[in-house]
Structure 1
Amino acid sequence: MAPATVAARLLPDPTAVRPRRPLARGGRFPQGVMAGQPDTRGITLWTQLQEPELRGALELEVARDPGFARVVHRQRVPVRANAAGTASARVEGAPLRPHEQYWYRFATADRSSPVGRFRTLPPADSATPVRIGFWSCQMYFMGYFTGQAALADEDLDLVVCLGDYVYDTYLDLTRREPRPAGGSGVARTLPEYRAKYAVYRSDADLRRMHANHAFLPVWDDHEVANDYDADGVDGVGGAAFAARRAAGYRAWLEHMPVEHRPGTAPRVFRRARVGGLLDLFLLDARQYARAGGTLLGDAQRRWLLDGLTFSRAAWKLLGNPVMLMDMANTIDGAVIGAPKHSWQAHADERRLVGQTLRARGVDDVVSIAGDAHAFYAGVATTDGGSRGTPFATEVVAGTIAASNLATSALELVAPLTGPLAGGLGLAANPHLVFSNATAHGYTVVEARREELLVQLRAVDTILRPTASVRTLASLRVPRGRVAVERTG
C-alpha cells in the first residue's frame, strides 16, 4: 500500500458551504491528525493518508462542535503522491475567531480520519492567562510515551516540542523498533527517517496528544544525527552528510504541521505571540551551529535579540532546544553534559546574548529548555553559573522517554536515588533551585500578568503502557525579577 501526500494552502471561505467532493476512496489515517502553527485566525492541519491508489482528493471540515453540526469551513484538498503520505492544509481568515476551540477531520469518499481539536490563540491585547505544555526527547525503544497520555488531558492553549521528537538510533530495549532491511544502527536515508515517524506515531498516546492540542515543534539533533552541526557529524561531512541531513530535514518537514515552501532552505526558528501576556521564540540550535563558532548563526541571533528588545508582551519565552545554564558535577565542579553544540560550548555567544539583553533593558525573559533528560530550574547568567550576571530564568522541561538516572531497572530505585542526586546537584550549582534527573514527564507554564507559574509534571513509569502523573514541583517566576521561587 503506497502513501499519498497533500500539501495545499486553504484560502478563507466566507460561505463555508462548498459541497463535499472527495475523490479518493478507501484508505487509512494511521498517524492520526495534528494542528500546528496556531494564530488568532489561522491553523495548519495535518494528517497522513494511506490508500490503494495515489490519486483523488481529501475533504477537510472544520467545525465549532465535535459532532460537526456547525461546520465553518469545508474544502476539497487535492492529493499529491510524491512525499511520504502526509497531508497538510492552512486555514486562515474569516472562518476562525480568536481564542476559540474548533474540531476538524479529513475524509475520503468512504472513510474519515480521527477527529482532532485545536484552540486559536488569543488576540495581542488579551490579558487572559495562557497555558503551554513543553516537552522533549522521546525514545521509542526506551519506553512508553505515558507522559503524552497525561499531556493529552491537560487544559492547554498550545503544546511545544523542544526537539528530539524521533531518535536516529535503532535499539531494542523496552520496546522493539522495526529496522529497515539492510539498514545500519542509525537512520541515514529518507525512507528510514520516514519510517521513524510511522513507528513513533504508532503510539496511541502520542496520537491522542496531537489530536487534543495545537502544536508547535522545533528540532534538535536526533532528528538527523547525534550532535551534528553545519559541517557534519563524527568527522563525516561533504556530500554524504549533506544528503543525510537533507533526508532528515525533509522527513521532519513532511511529518510536522508546519508550512514550508519546497525548494527553499527550511527555517524552523519562529515567533508566536500568545495573547498580550506571552511572546514565544522557538530557536534552531542545530542548522547554523559550527564548532568553535556559533550556535545560532548571525541572522537568527539578530532576529532573537531584536524580537526580545521590541516585544511588548509581559513574558518573553525562549523555546530552547538546549539549556542555557551550566551544570557542574559534585566532585570537582567541572561543567558536565556539554556536547560541542550546546550553550556551554558556545560560552562567548551566551555571554553576548546576556549582556545585550541587560544593556537593552529587556526583562522577564524565561528559557524553557529540552535536551538534558532531566528537570532543572534556576537562573541563567552570562557565564552560565553563579558568578555571572543574571539575565533570564530557566526551566528544563524534562524528557518523555529518554535515558536518565532512572532508565530501565533504575526506575525501581528512583524514589530513593532521586532526592539524593537532586540534593547533590543543588549543592554543586547555587544558581539552581530545583534538580531531578530521575523523573520522566513534561512542563506546563501558565502566564499571568504579574507572575509565571510552572508545574513540573512526572509520570511514575515509562516501562508500562499506563502510568499515573503527579506534580513533581511547583515554581513561580515573579514579574520584574530574575528569580525562580519554589512554591510546592
Structure 2
Amino acid sequence: MTSRRSFISTVIQSAGFLTIASALPIAGCGSSDDAPVNLTPKGSFLFGQGVASGDPRTNSVILWTRCIPATGSQDVNLSLQIATDSEFKNALQSIPVTALAKYDNTVRVKVTGLTADQVYYYRFTAGSDSSNTGTTKTLPPVTSTRDIRFAWLSCQDWSINHWAGLTLLAKEQLDFVIHVGDYIYETVGAAFQTGQVEAAHGPITLPSGGLKAKSGVYANTIDDYRTLYRTYRGDTRLQSIHQNFPMIAIWDDHEFSDDCWQDHQTYTNENKQETTRRRNATQAWAEYQPIDWTDVQFQPDTTTGFTNIRIYRDFRVGQNMHLVMTDERLYRDDHIVDEATFAKIVGHDSVNGDDSVGTRYFVPQPVLGQFEQTKTTALGRVPSILGTAQTQWFKDTLKNTDATWKIWGNEVALSRMWLDLRAAEVPAQLKNRYVLNCDAWDGYPTAKQELLSYLVDNKIKNVVAITGDLHAFQASVVRNIAENGQGTPVLVDFLAAGVSSSSFYTYLKPGFLNSGIPAIVSMFATPTAFDDTMKLNNPDFAYVDHDAQGYAIATVGSAQMSVTFYKTAKLNSDGSLPANILLKKTQFTVAKDTTTIVVKDNA
C-alpha cells in the first residue's frame, strides 16, 4: 500500500490532477477588490457544470469546478477565491489553478488550514468570467456534541421520471450530503429507462455510439462516460445540491456497469471482462466527484489493471458520528451463482444468454448454498463483497472508534429479502425459499454473517447503515444470523429510494403478474400487496415502500438518531411535473444502545 506521504507527492506530480493549497489569509488584505483586472471579453470561458465541494474535514475541504473555453479545447487558467462571507469582503486566499483539457477541464483543489465547523464561500474565475458562488462547511471538532444533520441520495437516472425532489432538498439546512451510488446510469435507451421522463431531460447521445446491450446501448469510452457526467451535472437542480452542500460520494454499479463486479459486466452470462472500460468509468468518476485524493488513492497515469483507485474511507464528525464509506463493487467476488455455470446446467446459452433470474435475482436458497460451498473451496475463502483488505479495515475502524454512532455508507441492501413459497399453492418445481436479490448482501450469506457476528462479538453498538440501490424505502433490523428467531439484532438499515429511477416494484411487477400462477399474482398485484408479502416473509422490516422515489435526511444526536424518508410524487399522466412534489414523509427514531425502530408514518 502506498504511504500517504508518498502518494500525496504522486498525486501532485500526476499532471495536476489535484492541487493542494492553504487558506491562510491574504496578508494585509481583507477584500478581493484588489485582484488584477482581467481583460478577456466576458463569455470567453464557461462554467457549465457549476461548482462543488466534498470530503470535508475539520480543517480542509475539496473544491471543484469545470471550466472550458467558449471556443477551442485548451487548458484554462483559473483563480479560486475562498472567503468567510458571500460577498468575499473577507477573502482568505486567491489560489491559481489550471483546468487541464486532459482531465476534461475539471479541477480539484484541497484547501487546508480551515477552521472547524465553519461555513465558507468560494468561486472560480477565468478572465472576466466567474462561476456561481458555492457554499461549503467544515466538520465539527471531535469534541463537539451538537447534532449532525445530513441527507443521502442514490439512483438518479436521467432518463426516467424527474429530479424535482432535488429542488426541495437544496432548501434544507444540512451539514453535508452523502451519495451512495448510481450517480449516473451507463445505459441509454435500456428497457428499464423506457417510461415517462420530464421535459428538462432530453435524450443522451454517446459520442462513440455506445456498445449494444440486451436493450439500449452502454457507455464504453472515456468520452462516453464524460458525456454522461457533463449532462447530469448540467441540470441546475443537481448543481444546486453541490453548490449548497459538501458531498461525500461513493459509487455503486451504474457508474461502470449494471450489477458489475471488479471489471466485469453482467449484461450477458459471459460476464465479460472489460478492463479498459472499467478504467474509463473510473477516471470519469474521479474527474467529476470532489474527492480528497490525499486521503484515498487514484493513479490516473498507470497503464495496466483496474485497481488504480481506492475510494473506501471514513470521516469523524464530532463526538456523535463516525461515517464509514465502503466500496462494494471494485473488490467483490463474482456473484455466487455465476451465470455461465448456471446456464450450462439448465441448457441455456452460457455466453450470450441472460440468466440473471435464477442467479442474481429470485435464487432458490439451496442453490445459493451449494454454489457458495463450491466457490469457497475454489477460492480458499468465503466469497466476499468487500474483499479481504477492506473487510479488515472496516472491522478495525468500527472497533477502534469511540463515536456514539457508527454510520455505514453502504451501497446495497443489508436487510433480509426472502420469499418462502414452500407452502404456497404453486407448481411443485417452484416450492422453495428464494433470495430475491443476490446482488445485495443476501447474495453473500456467509460473508454477511461473519461481518455482522464480528460486530456482536466485539460489542460494537449503534451501527446504522444508510443504503441505496434498490429503488425503494426500507427500515429494518439486521441480524447476524438470518433465520427467524436465531440471530442477534446487530444494526439498523435505512434504505432510501432512488431520486428518479423506476421503483423495485415496477421492475418486478411484469414478470410476476404474467406468471399465470394465482398465488404469485396475488402477492404482486399491487404495491401494497407486495409490501405486505415482504413484511410477512421478513418480520424484521419495520417499514417498506417498494414503489417510491425520493431521498432521506438523518439527524444524529447524543441520545438518538432520527431519519425521515421524503417520497416524491410521480409525473402527471401528460408528463408534466406534479404541482406538489412531496407526496409523503415518514419519520423514524432509534434510541442509543437499541435497534428498535419507532415509526411515525406520514409525519
Q: CA deviation at 1:6?
A: 6.6
- Tell me, what secondary structure is at the counterpart of 2:45? coil
Structure 1, unaligned stretches of length 5 or more?
Answer: 411-415
Query: Quick one: which amino acid aligns to residue 403 of structure 2?
Result: A
Q: 2:325 is aligned with what amino acid?
A: L
Q: Distance in 1 between matches of 2:39 and 2:250?
A: 32
The answer to whether the aligner puts 1:247 opposite 2:306 as a matched pair is: no
1:145 aligns with 2:163: yes
1:318-351 alpha-carbon deviations (Å, 9 max, x no partner): 1000011111237558444423x42111111111
Residues 231, 290 of structure 1: 8 Å contact kept: no
Matched, 1:320 2:410: yes
2:170 counterpart letter in structure 1 = A
What SS is found at the alignment partner of 2:437? coil
- 2:223 is the alignment partner of 1:196: no
Mapped pair 1:448 → 2:557: yes
Task: Indicate the SS of the match to 1:89.
Answer: strand
Work out whether residues 326 and 344 of structure 1, in 8 Å CA contact, stay in contact via their aligned partners in 2.
yes
Other-structure match for 1:438: 547
| Closer/same/farther in 2, CA of residues 448 and 176 from structure 1, 3 Å limit | same
- 1:55 shift after superposition: 3.5
For 1:46, the aligned partner's letter is: W
Greater shift after overlay, 457-466 or 429-438? 457-466
Deviates more, 1:136-145 or 1:48-57: 48-57
SS of 1:294's partner is coil
Q: Distance in 2 between matches of 1:24 and 1:331?
A: 73
Q: Aligned letter for 2:586?
A: A
Evaluate the alpha carbon distance shift between residue 384 and residue 131 of structure 1 in structure 2; reply closer, same or farther with a 3 A threshold.
Answer: farther
Aligned to 2:291: 258
State the alpha-carbon separation in 2 of the partners of residues 55 and 206 from structure 1. 25
Q: Give CA-to-partner distance per residue, 1:210-248, whole Å, 9 cap, x none.
A: 11111000000111111111252235577x600010000
Matched, 1:379 2:379: no
Q: Which has the larger radius of gyration?
A: 2
Shift of 1:461: 2.4
TM-score for the superposition, normalised by structure 1? 0.91
Query: What is the correspondence of 1:454-469 to structure 2 with a 5 Å cutoff?
Result: 454-462=563-571, 464-465=576-577, 467-469=580-582
Counterpart mapping for 1:271-310 below 5 A: 271-291=314-334, 292=336, 293-310=383-400
Question: Is 2:99–2:105's contact at 8 Å kept on the other side of the alignment?
Answer: no
Distance 1:420-1:126 versus aligned 2 partners, 3 A rule: same
Q: Post-superposition shift, 1:15?
A: 2.9
**Aligned residue for 1:217?**
249
Give me the whole-angstrom Cα distance separating, in 1, the residues matched to 2:112 and 2:118: 14
Q: What does the per-residue CA deviation read over 1:244-274, in whole Å, with 9 as the maximum and x for residues that have no partner?
A: 1000001000010013343472111110111
Report deviation, 1:138.
1.1
Matches within 5 A, 1:29-428: 29-51=47-69, 52-53=71-72, 54-93=74-113, 96-171=114-189, 173=195, 174=197, 175-181=201-207, 182-184=209-211, 185-230=217-262, 232-234=264-266, 241-260=274-293, 261-262=298-299, 263=301, 265-291=308-334, 292=336, 293-329=383-419, 334-339=433-438, 341-384=439-482, 386-387=484-485, 388-404=487-503, 417-428=526-537
1:10 aligned partner:
21
- 1:482 aligns to what? 595
Distance change in 2, residues 1:278/1:471 (3 Å): farther
Gapped runs of 5+ residues in structure 2? 1-14, 212-216, 303-307, 337-382, 423-431, 510-524
Tell me the SS of whatever aligns to 1:329.
Answer: strand
Paired residue type of 1:390: P
The answer to whether the 8 A contact 1:31-1:48 is kept is yes
Residues 41 and 385 from structure 1, CA distance in 2 versus in 1: closer, same or farther, beyond 3 angstroms? farther
Q: Is it true that 1:472 corresponds to 2:571 in the alignment? A: no
Give the alignment's TM-score, normalised by structure 2: 0.74
Q: d(CA) in 1 for partners of 2:587 and 2:126?
A: 46
Cα distance, 1:198 vs. partner?
1.1
1:78, distance to aligned residue in structure 2 (A): 2.6
User: Aligned partners of 1:301, 1:355: CA distance in 2, in Å?
Assistant: 13
Question: Does structure 1 retain, via aligned residues, the 8 Å contact 2:79–2:95?
Answer: yes
Q: Distance in 2 between matches of 1:381 and 1:226?
A: 28
Counterparts of 1:247 and 1:236, CA distance in 2: 21
- Kindly state the Cα deviation for residue 205 of structure 1 after the two structures are TM-superposed: 1.0
Change (3 A) 1:407 1:62: farther
Is the 1:36–1:45 Cα contact (8 Å) retained in structure 2?
yes
Shift of 1:422: 2.8
The amino acid of 1:67's aligned partner reads: E
Cα distance in 2, alignment partners of residues 322 and 20 from structure 1: 48
Shift of 1:465: 4.6
Report if aligned partners of 1:442, 1:457 keep a CA contact under 8 Å in 2: yes
| Change over 3 Å in CA distance of 1:199–1:334 after alignment to 2 | farther
**8 Å CA contact 2:53, 2:62 repeated in 1:** yes
Deviation per CA, 1:43-75: give whole Å up to 9, x if none.
Answer: 100011111352341111112222222212221
Alignment-derived partner of residue 413 in structure 1: none
Instruction: Check whether the contact 1:325–1:385 (CA below 8 A) recurs between aligned residues.
Output: no
Larger helix proportion, structure 1 or 2?
2
Q: Matches of 1:354 and 1:112 in 2, distance apart?
A: 49
**SS of residue matched to 1:196:** helix
Separation (CA, whole Å) in 1 of partners of 2:324 and 2:309: 17
User: Matches of 2:535 and 2:555 in 1, distance apart?
Assistant: 25
CA spacing shift, 1:153–1:287, aligned 2, 3 Å: same
User: CA offset at residue 24 of structure 1?
Assistant: 10
Counterpart of 1:9, as a letter, is I
